[in-house]
């Protein structure tokens, strides 16, 4: 169709020559694209012709996100460009996010929390640059297109590409290390463009020109070195410093399969997705140290199943310098996305809601340099996190984030065991399984999936503690490692005998009654014990079982009494 339109405008006498010329051009172009496809490797799976739309036109909105000022999809939108494909050839047009057409004056953000954080005399109104609030990038991408078209109604886009500062810098290091310099690209941009991080209107055009020139330089070098460029971009895609969204469902399906879409998953089991939005106008995210601790403990419930409770602690330390303007006061909104049906037990939050697919806890964090904060939450997880004896956890890396430290521990009731599975461990990970405890540690450079198989309880309960209660020597308290079957306790055989360890006076001891105090605690009411400090008694029992039918057989233990002939505790430290 494209070539037909071209030929229709050519004089009939010259059509034959032009047909050959266009045919040769098309052949060269196809050979060139095949060469590029081979050079760019895995990126080519998206389909060069589909993305470029060859031979028809395609338009993409490209946003540049500053991850030093982290936002839900990666960072503050500091610049944008329109990528246009014409006959498969790309053209870039750079724009200004501070363009008045992209700001709805006197409007407020759709989310009340963000409206509160952004409110102030210098806030012009909600617009394109704050449009990446949704933590799900495909949703945010559609919102960005909508906001852009409010200012430029004639614009039509086939997708959105997000590139953050880290990806930009890594590409520059690969293709043009002289651009970054010894101090890094961030320092160079800060020196080149004064007040870039204060959003000074007087420097907006300077920033736009500087970034545009830098981007054009990298684009040229990428064309000359497609393999190197592709490798850098692939690494940034895998670590979510570059995100793709295509309206073409077939391309988007490939993107989603490769986890390049920045999508927020709808959890089928457990999910830990921590999302930071810095709305303080500072680059403090660059200087924030984040450590995430996630502890899940399963306990047996009355139905014989396992009830999971999660304890989450996010430790934040602002390591910026008070004398450095761009690392000043930090003001942010944190969201923790968990499985739908999670119920908060304790912890202070500013928001607690379900978004239709996940339960979300939100917390506003404010702090100055050299201060620390902590987000602490305890919540009950839905039973769906455990399916067919397998616990699965997806740990979602936020776009734009670096390798934050994450530690996960999962604990089962006594008697249960984790299977030592062939879980694939990367160089930045460690997994230790210690009977009923699993501890996983990682640097969150990509999304992580943890899978733990729980073995059925086949181990009998263990006696964890035994002692005389009080000073009258009429009760022995027994505590077990796991809940007991009450019927087995009633049917079990118990006996107690004086071992005459301290003297030769034989006590004629009897067990009068067995009382079930709690699932893991029983008490024996006894008679016939006379006071004698450190005297030993032999307790035998047989037939006590846990709630899974595992029976303790022929148990023999020693119980020591610590009461002297005057009825006093003879040794508070209880040394034999």
pLDDT of residue 203: 58
Q: Do residues 263 and 329 lie in contact, with contact meaning Cβ atoms separated by under 8 Å? A: no
Dihedral angle over CA of 218, 221, 222, 227, nearest 10: -140
Quote the pTM value. Answer: 0.82
CATH 2.60.40 at 270-455, yes or no: yes
CB 159 within 8 A of CB 139: no
**Sole residue written with tokens 């450590």:** 291
Alpha-carbon distance of 284 to 130, in angstroms, equals 17
For 65-95, the pLDDT digits (tens) are 999 999 999 999 988 999 999 888 888 888 8
Cβ distance 179 to 215 under 8 Å?
Answer: no
| Nearest in space to 68 (alpha carbons), one of 201, 196, 171 | 196
Strand extents, DSSP E, 404-534: 404-411, 417-418, 429-434, 437-444, 448-455, 463-468, 475-480, 493-498, 510-518, 521-527
Strand blocks (E) in 133-227: 159-164
Q: What are the residue ranges spanned by the domains of the chain? A: 2-257, 270-455, 463-561
Same fold? 2-257, 270-455: no
What's the fold here for domain 2-257?
Aminopeptidase (3.40.630)
What would be the CATH architecture of the domain defined by 463-561?
Sandwich (2.60)
CB 66 within 8 A of CB 76: yes
CA 230 – CA 244 distance, rounded (Å) = 14
Q: Which positions of the chain have pLDDT values less than 50?
A: 1-3, 6-7, 10-11, 13-15, 18, 22, 25-36, 38, 194-198
- Other CB atoms within 10 Å distance of the CB of residue 70: 27
Burial class (CB in 10 A: 0-12, 13-18, 19+), 149: middle
- Tens-digit pLDDT profile for residues 545-566: 998 899 999 999 999 988 887 7
Specify whether the CB–CB gap between 415 and 546 falls below 8 A: yes
């Amino acid at each position: 169709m494209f070539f037909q339109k071209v030929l229709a405008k050519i004089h009939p006498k010259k059509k034959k020559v032009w047909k050959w010329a266009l045919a040769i051009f098309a052949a060269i172009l196809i050979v060139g694209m095949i060469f590029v496809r081979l050079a760019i490797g895995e990126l080519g799976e998206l389909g060069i012709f589909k993305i470029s739309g060859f031979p028809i036109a395609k338009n993409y909105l490209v946003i540049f996100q500053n991850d030093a000022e982290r936002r839900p999809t990666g960072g503050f939108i500091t610049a944008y460009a329109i990528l246009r494909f014409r006959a498969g050839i790309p053209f870039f047009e750079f724009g200004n996010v501070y363009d008045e057409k992209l700001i709805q004056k006197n409007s407020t953000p759709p989310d009340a929390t963000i409206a509160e954080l952004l409110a102030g005399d210098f806030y012009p109104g909600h617009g394109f640059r704050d449009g990446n609030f949704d933590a799900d990038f495909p949703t945010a991408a559609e919102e960005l297109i909508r906001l852009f078209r409010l200012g430029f109604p004639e614009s039509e886009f086939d997708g959105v590409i997000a590139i953050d500062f880290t990806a930009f810098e890594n590409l520059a290091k690969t293709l043009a290390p002289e651009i970054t310099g010894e101090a890094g690209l961030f320092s160079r941009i800060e020196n080149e463009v004064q007040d870039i991080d204060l959003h000074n209107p007087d420097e907006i055009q300077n920033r736009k020109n500087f970034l545009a020139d830098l981007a054009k330089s990298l684009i040229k070098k990428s064309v000359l070195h497609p393999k190197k460029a592709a490798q850098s971009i692939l690494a940034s895609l895998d670590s979510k410093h570059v995100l793709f969204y295509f309206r073409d469902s077939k391309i988007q399906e490939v993107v989603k399969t490769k986890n390049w879409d920045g999508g927020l998953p709808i959890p089928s089991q457990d999910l830990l997705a921590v999302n930071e939005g810095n709305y303080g106008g500072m680059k403090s995210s660059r200087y924030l140290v984040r450590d995430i601790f996630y502890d899940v403990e399963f306990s047996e419930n009355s139905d014989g199943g396992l009830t999971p409770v999660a304890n989450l602690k996010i430790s934040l330390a602002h390591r910026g310098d008070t004398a450095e303007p761009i690392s000043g006061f930090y003001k942010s909104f944190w969201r923790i996305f968990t499985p739908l049906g999670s119920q908060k037990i304790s912890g202070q939050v500013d928001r607690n809601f379900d978004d239709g697919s996940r339960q979300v806890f939100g917390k506003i964090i404010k702090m100055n340099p050299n201060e620390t904060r902590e987000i602490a939450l305890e919540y009950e997880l839905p039973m769906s996190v455990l399916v067919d004896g397998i616990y699965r956890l997806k740990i979602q890396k936020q776009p734009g984030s670096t390798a934050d430290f994450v530690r996960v521990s999962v604990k089962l009731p006594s008697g249960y065991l984790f299977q030592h599975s062939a879980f694939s461990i990367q160089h930045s990970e460690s997994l230790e399984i210690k009977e009923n405890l699993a501890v996983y540690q990682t640097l969150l450079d990509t999304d992580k999936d943890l899978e733990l198989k729980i073995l059925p309880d086949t181990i009998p309960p263990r006696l964890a503690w035994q002692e005389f209660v009080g000073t009258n020597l009429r009760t022995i308290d027994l505590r077990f490692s796991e809940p007991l079957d009450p019927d087995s306790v009633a049917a079990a055989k118990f006996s107690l005998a004086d071992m005459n360890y301290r003297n030769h006076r034989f006590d004629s001891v009897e067990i009068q009654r067995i009382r079930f105090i709690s699932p893991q605690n029983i008490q024996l009411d006894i008679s016939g014990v006379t006071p004698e400090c450190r005297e030993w008694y032999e307790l035998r029992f047989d037939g006590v079982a846990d709630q899974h039918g595992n029976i303790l057989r022929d148990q023999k233990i020693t119980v020591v009494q610590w009461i002297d002939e005057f009825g006093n505790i003879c040794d508070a430290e209880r040394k034999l």
